[in-house]
Amino acid sequence: MRCFWDARQLAHAPELELHNGAFVPFAESPARAEAILAAIGTPEAAVDHGEARLRAVHSEAYLAFLWSAHKDWRAAGRPGDASGYAWPVVRRRQLSLDRIDARLGAYSFDAASPIAAGTWEGAYWSAQTALSALGAVLAGEPAAFALCRPPGHHCGSDYLGGYCYLNNAAIAAEAAIAAGRKVAILDVDYHHGNGTQDIFYERGDVLFASIHADPRTDYPFFWGHADETGEGEGEGATLNLPLARGADLAAYLPALDAALERIAAFAPDLLVLSYGADTFAGDPISQFRLETADYARVARRIASLGTPTLIAMEGGYAVDALGANVASFLEGFA
Ligand SMILES: [Zn+2]
């Protein structure tokens, strides 16, 4: 399978994150990408498709914020990486906010996604990697893998969170739609892809299906419940399949089959697959129990749809096993 990557993604390297109430080393580290690279061989270099593709998903105001946030943080005399501490809960609306702390709150939903000096560059090239792999699929490849890092599926049109700053899957989906394709998105990361869901929630032309840990117990908590099915023209075009903690392959496969059945009925001509390996039994921040060999089985089932597929990397934090888990998935898919 053709794989895509750009070394500038390594520029995104925050030091610490707030996790379960304590500052700990940033889990979404550059070492994740290096572990995957060691397992999949030499990828093709991403090509720059420009910022217009980002603007098809993200607001101008958000992109401007993300581009300057770390500079603004330092200009305010702050050390380390930029991170918010106050959020608008009752109602979000466009406000003219001057202080960097206020703007961090306006454009994010958690304190676990710091903005470092290289965050814009890393996120920009992560999105370009997704677009480059999409290009291969649009040109006729049955599937291509985008080694996106930072990941994207928690990021909405105007907010970051969950280690995500630009929504790679959504950016690729919009680019595929612009190229005349009918697109479905399947998210198999451990965590619900709240950003992707939000972006397409009122759209009937894109199907979003997600299998994830029940948000009653797991991040991102406020999205991904089974009764979220879309709104307006998007009613029925969102499918959430939350599973209880401890799910192994036997518990996982029925949900996967339900998602694939819905996708087959939607009859897309391109699938964007948000793949996270944090469903792994040994993942340090997640609670499912998939094994390395299980990823090949999951991938084969998804590939049996026969739909041209862009696979975009999302989470996966058991760094020692990450390369083997991704390789298992890609081999199963091929
Ligand atoms: Zn995840």
In order of their start, the domains of the chain are 2-51+116-333 (3.40.800.20)
What's the pLDDT band for 157 if we cut at 50, 70, 90? very high
**Cα of 120 from ligand 1 centre, angstroms:** 21
**Cα of 192 from ligand 1 centre, angstroms:** 7
Of the candidate ranges 89-98, 162-171, 254-263, the one whose mean pLDDT is the lowest: 89-98
**Cα of 322 from ligand 1 centre, angstroms:** 13
Mapping DSSP onto H, E and C, the string for 222-238 reads: CCCCCCCCCCHHHCCCE
What is the pLDDT of the chain when averaged over all its residues?
97
CA contacts within 13 A on the Cβ side of 53: 29
* 36-94 pLDDT per residue, tens: 999 998 999 999 999 999 999 999 999 999 999 999 999 999 999 999 999 988 777 88
**Cα of 315 from ligand 1 centre, angstroms:** 4
Element (H, E) at 60: helix 60-75
**Cα of 59 from ligand 1 centre, angstroms:** 24
Q: Which residues surround ligand 1, an ion (CB under 5 A)?
A: 189-191, 276, 278, 315
Handedness of CA 185, 191, 193, 198 (dihedral sign): positive
pLDDT at 176 over 80: yes
**Cα of 98 from ligand 1 centre, angstroms:** 32
Percentage of the chain exceeding pLDDT 70: 99
CA contacts within 13 A on the Cβ side of 54: 25
What's the pLDDT band for 13 if we cut at 50, 70, 90? very high
pTM equals 0.97
How far apart CA 30 and CA 102 sit, in angstroms, is 28
How far apart CA 220 and CA 235 sit, in angstroms, is 22
Catalytic residues: 154
* 95-144 pLDDT per residue, tens: 889 999 999 999 999 988 999 999 999 999 999 999 999 999 999 999 99
